[in-house]
Chains A and B, each alone.
Chain A
Amino acid sequence: MSMTIRPEFEQVLEPLSDIRTERSLPLAQRLWQQAIVRKAAIVALLAALWEVAARITDNDLLLPTFSQTTRAFGADLLSGELIGKAGISVALLLQGYLLGAALAFLLTALAVSTRFGRDLLSTLTSMFNPLPAIALLPLALLWFGLGKLSLIFVLVHSVLWPLALATYAGFQGVPETLRMGGRNYGLRGLRYVVLILVPSALPAILSGLRIGWAFAWRTLIAAELFFGASSGKGGLGWYIFQNRNELYTDKVFAGLISVVLIGLLVETLVFDSLERVTVRRWGTQR
């Protein structure tokens, strides 16, 4: 093989001005990019399947159709009954949830600053996290009576442990460089936790808050099936229970749908937006 030396060259580069660097996608593709459109398609598909299944079964008492349920849901929504019940449930839920979250923050802040706090957290979570909140309800009723306090007690229990675990795991995952950076600026104690650890661990904390929310919601509905919210004024769980007793199966489904809808609303409106303006914007979560 002969080795010929190829000539060298240099060239002057003109600025690129006539080339478009951006093109827009077709409308259908852009719509499908929206998560909400894809999710709505899934829900529509499920509703259609339900309708077909209910028509095949043809038994209103066991499985009312989707349209019947929608009608019952619409009627009770308009009469204000569902909104009232949901309001009672959500108000109670928020109280328990916020209290539980505050306690979880305290416990984890203690756990990152002292060795005793760390042992306290790990012992308490491994003891109480596996314990279903509902199992504590009989005890709570004994202590706090038939009312709001008992429900808040089980709600706190259902939020506190999973959230504390997630937050603590998040704190432990904070990169060493960031920690040293924070100490370099002279940050200590609570300021260190709030300015360095919490924002850095936010992806884990947010997922803990989501899990805590789901647990709390579940616990509340289950607890309300026992005895309503506070004496005489029941929430959504009570609404479901009562309608089952009276064999209004379509209303039972309407109650279940309300539970699902509120869950979805909070997921997308609260948690997804929170994620969008924080961890996604910062690039710490995709």
Chain B
Amino acid sequence: MSAQAQRLMSPAASPHVRLVPQAEAASLVQVEGVSLEYATHEHIVRATHRVSFEVRQGERFVLLGPSGCGKSSLLKAIGGFISPSEGRIMLDGVAVHEPGPDRMVVFQEFDQLPPWKTVLDNVMFPLLASRRLARAEARERAADMLTKVGLADFANAYPHTLSGGMKQRVAIARALAMQPKVLLMDEPFAALDALTRRRMQEELLTLWEEAKVTLLFVTHSIEEALVVGDRILLLSPHPGRVRAELNAHQFDLQNLGSPEFQVQAQRIHRLLFDDEART
């Protein structure tokens, strides 16, 4: 099934469209036939097999799949932490070889914030470490970003005094302050409770709308994929291969219970579980 055909099949756009006109948007990240492998003591295990996709400028692109489909590995490969055994990854026309501050990563773990730095210092840290800004400017931009995520009052607190949701907000503020070409998020809300998770998804969408950053988001929740993403890449388990690419721009937290939402969610469910039945 071609991408065009799938787009025709998807339900009509809701009033909350956040879609960037597809014809105008330039391609930012190209993943071309990427296979990822990791070595255990006895075996070399293939995490993904010849995965190709393209993320466009300003898109919210979601990698969705069951655990073990290599979605996190793909994100880390784009981040430059793992190099593909086959294929290549291009960012803005340049091949990705190593980690860099143009691709900021927000991890799932709460310990991603250096505990020896206050909240404000944490947000300033990458700006200073990458020598992007001088101290005064970095401080200004970090304070600005903290206000946006609603943590201005906690600028001088240490991370261990914050709740999980607040820590993730700091991590997002830290990443956005860098104004990266693409923001990579590796299941950033997976360790949060359901209510906080819902709030964070809402806030992320608001921040995205302001910053107009390109977002690459990994999740294993169908609902989260539909709410957060405007395009979803579905990966099959062991080794991860592209099962489908779907649209989700018409869904957000307001129409979570709508029939169209349910239809799309069930379709994804079927695509994922048919696979599992076969293997």
| A interface residues with partner B (beta carbon < 8 Å) | 175, 177-178, 180-187, 191, 195-196, 199-200, 202, 278, 281-284
Contacts and interface: CB of A to CB of B under 8 A. Distances in A.
B129 A283 contact: no
A199 B116 contact: yes
B79 A184 contact: yes
22 contacts: A175-B109, A178-B114, A180-B76, A180-B105, A181-B107, A184-B79, A184-B99, A184-B104, A185-B125, A186-B99, A186-B130, A191-B129, A195-B129, A196-B114, A199-B114, A200-B116, A281-B158, A282-B116, A283-B158, A283-B159, A283-B160, A284-B115
Given A175-B109, A178-B114, A186 B160 contact: no
Given A202-B116, A283-B115, A284-B115, A183 B158 contact: no
Nearest to B99: A183
A195 B122 CA distance: 12
Nearest to B126: A185
A187 to B, nearest CB: 5
Contacts of A200: 114-116
Given A180-B79, A184-B105, A186-B130, 8 more contacts: A177-B109, A178-B112, A184-B100, A184-B103, A191-B129, A283-B115, A283-B161, A284-B116
Contacts of B115: 200, 282-284
B86 interface: no
Contacts of A178: 111-112, 114
Contact of A185 (B111, B129, B158, B160): B129
Interface string B216-233: 000000000000000000
Contact of A175 (B100, B111, B160): B111
Interface in B89-115: 98-101, 103-105, 107, 109, 111-112, 114-115
Given A184-B99, A283-B160, A177 B112 contact: yes
B81 interface: yes
A187 B116 contact: no
A186 B100 contact: yes
Nearest to B79: A184
A202 B115 CA distance: 11
Give 5 nearest A-B pairs by CB, closest first: A283-B160, A185-B129, A185-B126, A199-B116, A183-B99
B130 A181 contact: no
A177 B116 CA distance: 15
A196 B104 CA distance: 17
B101 A185 contact: yes
Nearest to A181: B112
Contact of A177 (B98, B103, B111, B160): B111
Contacts of A175: 109, 111
Contacts of A182: 129
Interface in B178-202: none
Contact of B101 (A177, A184, A196, A202): A184
B52 to A, nearest CB: 25
Contacts of B125: 185
A26 B277 CA distance: 67
Contacts of A281: 158
Contacts of A180: 76, 79, 81, 99, 105, 107
A29 B101 CA distance: 52
Contacts of B76: 180
Query: Of A177, A185, A196, which is in contact with the most chain B CB atoms at under 10 Å from its CB?
Result: A185
Nearest to B76: A180
Contacts of B109: 175, 177
Contacts of A191: 129
A278 B116 contact: yes
Contacts of B79: 180, 184
Nearest to A279: B116
Contacts of B129: 182, 185-187, 191, 195
A183 B79 CA distance: 10
Nearest to A198: B116
A187 B191 CA distance: 27
User: Which of B99, B126, B160 has most chain A Cβ within 10 Å?
Assistant: B99
B182 to A, nearest CB: 12
Nearest to A191: B129
A276 to B, nearest CB: 13
A196 B101 CA distance: 16
A121 B47 CA distance: 35
A175 B107 CA distance: 12
Contacts of B100: 184, 186
A149 to B, nearest CB: 38
A199 B122 CA distance: 13
A182 B126 CA distance: 8
A269 to B, nearest CB: 22
Contacts of A184: 79, 99-101, 103-105, 126
B83 to A, nearest CB: 13
A283 B118 CA distance: 11
